[in-house]
Amino acid sequence: MSNWDEIRTAWQVARLGTVSGAAEILGVHHATVIRHIDALEKQLGTRLFQRHARGYTPTEAGRDLLKVADTAADQFSQLAGRLRGQGETVAGELVITSVGGMAKFLIPALASFQVLYPQISIRCLTDHRLFRLEYGEAHVAIRAGNAPDDPDNVVQPFGSLPYALYASRSYVEAHGRPEGPEDYLHHRFIGGEGDQLRAPFFRWMDANVPAQAITFRGTEPAVTAEAIRAGLGIGFCTPSEARREPDLIEILPARPEWAAPLWLVTHVDLHRTAKVQAFLSHLKSCAPEWQDRGKA
């Protein structure tokens, strides 16, 4: 069967015996019920109901359909009960998606969360695309930039991720350091591309650095970070990342207007489950330490 809606409609008509009764239960117009029945009978190549003045009576084929649909509905009800039970325990798979640059902060929090809840299995996804929470691609998303506005998501502010301008030692030795904005034209900068252009620090770069001085662009943080390390120009990364790279030299310190606002995003259907609530609470308890380390 390609359309469960049509089967469900036929099941309700078989149970109730009338189109109007099925339409009321399903919350649809009676014409929709008739259309579903006609389409299903055409697909099966047989009559499911005898139409008469008092309503619809299932044929032998209709009674067979009713038995199958009854079984399916009962199994679905049992499944829903099991899933509701799982939702009350902090166990099973937890899928987290995060922006680039968060690994240094996020991984220790995930490790301590698993210590607290050893029955949790974690999948941590990082990508430049947005994972779709409404399709179950992730339980919790950590996103940066403008506040997400999908009405089906619960969005909570989660501090910010600081950024500063860096260059490799090899770049500074070859080209020196800009003394001020008047020198930007004589240097090479690494900018963003695509979705990255929404980041506040890349908006600053496009507004303040001459276009001809932005000689390399990348669509992912990993690409622009590698370009900075390779000496292709001056670019943005977080201070925590820079501290792990002894060959990176700070060109300009972090500024408040460059910081990327962070947001915790969950789908409304999963937000109140015990697993998600436990993780959000744990993550928030780690946030003050992240902010302090990010500014250090």
For the chain, the domains span 3-84, 92-159+261-292, 164-258
**Spatial distance between the Cα atoms of 296 and 126, rounded to a whole number of angstroms:** 25
- Going by their DSSP bridges, the two strands 55-58 and 92-98 should be labelled as unpaired
What's the pLDDT score for residue 296? Answer: 44
| pLDDT on residue 76 | 67
Q: What is the pLDDT of residue 215?
A: 96
Q: Residue 243: what pLDDT?
A: 86
Of 69, 18, 9, 19, nearest in space to 39 by CA? 9
Do the domains 92-159+261-292 and 3-84 match in fold? Answer: no
Fold of 3-84: Arc Repressor Mutant, subunit A (1.10.10)
Q: What is the pLDDT of residue 230?
A: 96
pLDDT of the residue at 110: 92
What would the CATH number be for the domain defined by 164-258? 3.40.190.10
Using the Cα atoms of residue 42, residue 47, residue 50 and residue 56 in order, give the sign of their dihedral: negative
Question: Given its phi and psi angles, is residue 45 left (phi above 0), alpha (psi -120 to 50 degrees) or beta?
Answer: left
CATH of domain 92-159+261-292: 3.40.190.10
Helix (H, G, I), strand (E, B) or coil at 27: coil
Q: Distance (Å, rounded) from C-alpha 45 to C-alpha 283?
A: 56
**Which contacts (CB < 8 Å, 24+ apart) does range 72-78 have?**
72/7, 73/11
Decide if 66 contacts 93 (C-beta within 8 A): no
Considering only CA atoms, which of 54, 47, 53 is closest in space to residue 16? Answer: 54
- pLDDT tens track, the chain, 296 positions: 456 778 888 888 888 888 888 888 888 888 898 898 898 888 888 898 888 888 888 888 888 887 877 777 666 655 554 455 455 678 888 999 887 667 777 888 999 999 999 999 998 887 666 777 877 788 999 987 778 888 888 999 988 888 999 999 999 999 999 999 999 999 999 998 886 777 889 999 999 999 999 999 998 888 899 999 999 999 998 888 888 889 999 999 999 999 888 899 998 888 888 899 999 999 988 876 655 444 44
Model-wide pTM > 0.85: no
**Dihedral sign, Cα of residue 97, residue 100, residue 102, residue 103:** positive
Q: What is the pLDDT of residue 168?
A: 97
Residues 6+ apart with CB under 8 A from 157: 147, 261, 262, 263, 264
Q: Which residues contact 296 (CB under 8 A, 6 or more apart)?
A: 239
Distance from C-alpha of 217 to C-alpha of 209, rounded to nearest angstrom = 13
